[in-house]
Amino acid sequence: MKTKVVKISADDKAEKYEEAVLYLKTDNVVGIPTETVYGLAGNAFSELAVKRIFEAKGRPQDNPLIVHISEFSEIYDLVSEVPSVAEMLAKEFWPGPLTMILPKSEKIPFCVTAGLDSVAVRCPSHPVARKLIKNCGLPLAAPSANISGKPSPTKAIHVFKDLDGKIPLIIDGGESEEGVESTVISLCTPVPKLLRPGNVTLTELQRVLGNVLVDDAVLNPLKEGEKVSSPGMKYKHYSPDAQVVILKGSYSDFCSYVNERKTENTYAMVFDDEGDGLNVEFFSYGKKNDYRSLSNKLFDILRELDEKGAKQCFVRCPDDNSDDLAVLNRLLRAAAFRVIDLGDGV
C-alpha cells in the first residue's frame, strides 16, 4: 500500500477533507493531527476499522482506544451515563488535552474498549481534527499513530516513518503543540482517578473536582502481577533504542557525572540555557519548571536519539511538582525507571 501525505490547514474547505472522509467512512484508517500527538483514526463504530488500527500499530489487543468527538453533544452516543462532573470538566477543558473514562454505551464495540465496560472519550482542540470528525459525522477511535512502544508522533513525518506502507493516508496538520498525550482521568471510580498525566494538570483537575486520586502507575513501575487501571500503563513506552538515564541533582554534578561516562554515542538532554561545561552533544528540551515548554519537544528528541544512533542519553530531571507530572511520567518510561540521585548540591 502506498501512503500518501496531504497537508491540510485550519482554513481549508471541505473538499480538502474529502479523501480522508471517504477512507474513514469505508472502514479505512488515517493518520490525523491533534494538539497532543498524531492519532491513527478509524470509525469507532466499525469493528473492521478498529481491527485495522490495531494491526497497523502492532498494538496489543488488551489496550483500549480513545474515541474522539468534535463537540460535547456527541458524547451521548458513546457513553451510557454523563455524570455532572463530566460536564464540569468538559466546560473547563474541552476542546483540549483531556480524556475522560466513562461507562460505555452499547453502540461502542468491545474491540474499542478491549473488553472493558468503560470508554475513553476526548474532544481535541486541533481545528483540522475537529473539522474532520464533523465532516465524517463519525466518532473516531484513535490511539497515538506510532508503532507500539515507540515515542508518540508529534509531526506527520514521524507517522510516515512508523507507518509508511501500512495506511493509505496521513494528514499533515503541522507540529502538535502540546507534545505529550492527553491527561486521562477515570470518572468510573468513586473518587476521580488520574490514570495518565498530561497538560491538563493535576492542580487544574483538583480545582474543578476537589479530591483526585493519582494512580500508582503514574510515577512507579508496576509490581509483578499488579492489576492496572489503564492497560496502556503496563507496556514499555516511549522508548528509544538508547539507554536513557535520568539524573537528579545540580547542573554541575550532572556535568561531572556525564563527562566521566562519555563514550562515542553519549548524549544529554538539558534545560534551556544549560550545556556549558558538557563534553557530549546535547539537546535543550525546554525551560526548567515550565511543563508546557518541556513537553513540547520531548518525543521529537527521543526519536532523534534513534536517528543519531545514540547508545546512552543522560537527562536532567524535572522537579517533581505536580505540574511536571506528564513530562516526568514519559521520561521515567523512556528510561525504564532508571533514576540516579546525584545528591543535593545547588
C-beta of residue 193 within 8 angstroms of C-beta of residue 101: no
Q: Which residue is nearest to ligand TXA (CB)?
A: 232
Name which of residues 306 to 345 contact ligand TXA (CB under 6 A): none
122 binds ligand TXA (CB under 6 A): yes
* Residue nearer to Mg ion on the CB measure, 317 or 334: 334
Cα–Cα distances in angstroms (integers) from residue 28 to residues 24, 40, 128, 141, 168, in the given order: 5, 10, 18, 12, 8
Q: Which does 39 bind (CB under 5 to 8 A by kind): ligand TXA, Mg ion, none?
A: ligand TXA
Using omega within 30 degrees of 0 as the cis cutoff, is the peptide bond preceding 95 cis? Answer: yes
Choose one: 26-34, 141-149, 266-274, 287-295; the region binding Mg ion (CB under 5 A).
Answer: 141-149
C-beta of residue 325 within 8 angstroms of C-beta of residue 219: yes
* Residue nearer to ligand TXA on the CB measure, 65 or 301: 65
* Residue nearer to ligand TXA on the CB measure, 119 or 328: 119
How many other CB atoms sit within 10 Å of the CB of residue 326? 30
Burial (Cβ within 10 Å: 0-12, 13-18, ≥19) of residue 224: exposed
Considering only 33, 39, 42, 96, the residue that binds ligand TXA (CB under 6 A) is 39
Q: Which does 37 bind (CB under 5 to 8 A by kind): Mg ion, ligand TXA, none?
A: ligand TXA
Considering only 5, 85, 116, 209, the residue that binds ligand TXA (CB under 6 A) is 116
Q: Which one-letter amino acid corresponds to residue 226?
A: E
H helix runs in 36-97, sequence order: 47-57, 84-93
120 binds ligand TXA (CB under 6 A): yes
* Binding letters toward ligand TXA, positions 231-260, x by CB under 6 A: xx----------------------------
Give the span between the Cα atoms of 52 and 62, in whole angstroms: 15
C-beta of residue 141 within 8 angstroms of C-beta of residue 288: no
Residues that bind Mg ion (CB under 5 A): 144
